[in-house]
Amino acid sequence: MVRMLVHGRYEIDPDPDRIDVDALYAFLDAEAYWARWRTGDDVRHQVSTAWRVVGVYTERSEMVGFARAVSDGRDIAYLADVYVLSDHRGQGLGRALLQEMIENGPGATFRWMLHTRDAHDLYRRFGFAEPDERVMERPSPRPMPS
Ligand SMILES: CC(C)(COP(=O)(O)OP(=O)(O)OC[C@H]1O[C@@H](n2cnc3c(N)ncnc32)[C@H](O)[C@@H]1OP(=O)(O)O)[C@@H](O)C(=O)NCCC(=O)NCCS
């Protein structure tokens, strides 16, 4: 697998075996504004059944960023759980993570979907736009994150 280097210090790596699920769960449970209902088992299941996961790693191999995609592997993909830990933000890692997930991987020609509260401009750079009238969604009965 190809690993992308950022600033010669961070690796962007799509190896699913390298994902630190404990670090992922620690972020999602304490800091994410979305889907805080998940248990560690839920997150482990989502990682193990993901079509593709990408991690961001320091030189000491600490996972400081993550993204997950659900897909049929041919045509359509849903992007979820994108984050970079706060100490490592603002230096292009979020963009590199999305570049690896969306444009460098086998999903480069897929239709992608996602939800976001405030990172629309980041995703616009990767071709995302507001959906047109053909798109519908059935919300979960779980309360929407604020
Ligand atoms: C969003 C996030 C992954 C960006 O990571 P990052 O490593 O700081 O991103 P980058 O350094 O590559 O820069 C992101 C660019 O997107 C822009 N951006 C747009 N919306 C943003 C947002 N809500 N948060 C951060 N950056 C945002 C930044 O201003 C920056 O623009 P620039 O290149 O002109 O400076 C990170 O801020 C994060 O983990 N936030 C908390 C979790 C989250 O909101 N995830 C997204 C859920 S949809």
Mean pLDDT of 9-17: 97
Is 91 touching ligand 1 by the criterion CB < 6 Å? yes
* 40 vs 146: CA distance, rounded Å: 22
pLDDT level of residue 88 (50, 70, 90 thresholds): very high
The pLDDT of residue 20: 98
Atom number of ligand 1 nearest to Cα 89? 8
Q: Is the pLDDT of residue 112 over 90?
A: yes
* 60 vs 131: CA distance, rounded Å: 40
The pLDDT of residue 127: 98
Mean pLDDT of 57-71: 97
Whether the CB-CB separation of 68 and 56 falls below 8 Å is answered with: no
User: How far is the centre of ligand 1, averaged over its atoms, from the C-alpha of 22 (Å)?
Assistant: 22
Q: What is the largest CA-CA distance in the chain?
A: 47
Report the run of H or E that residue 20 belongs to, with start and end.
Answer: none
Is 119 touching ligand 1 by the criterion CB < 6 Å? yes
Is 116 touching ligand 1 by the criterion CB < 6 Å? yes
Q: Is the pLDDT of residue 146 over 70?
A: no
Q: Is the pLDDT of residue 133 over 80?
A: yes
User: How far is the centre of ligand 1, averaged over its atoms, from the C-alpha of 119 (Å)?
Assistant: 6
SS3 115: coil
Is 89 touching ligand 1 by the criterion CB < 6 Å? yes
The pLDDT of residue 1: 57
Q: Where are the alpha helices (DSSP H) in 3-119?
A: 21-30, 40-48, 93-98
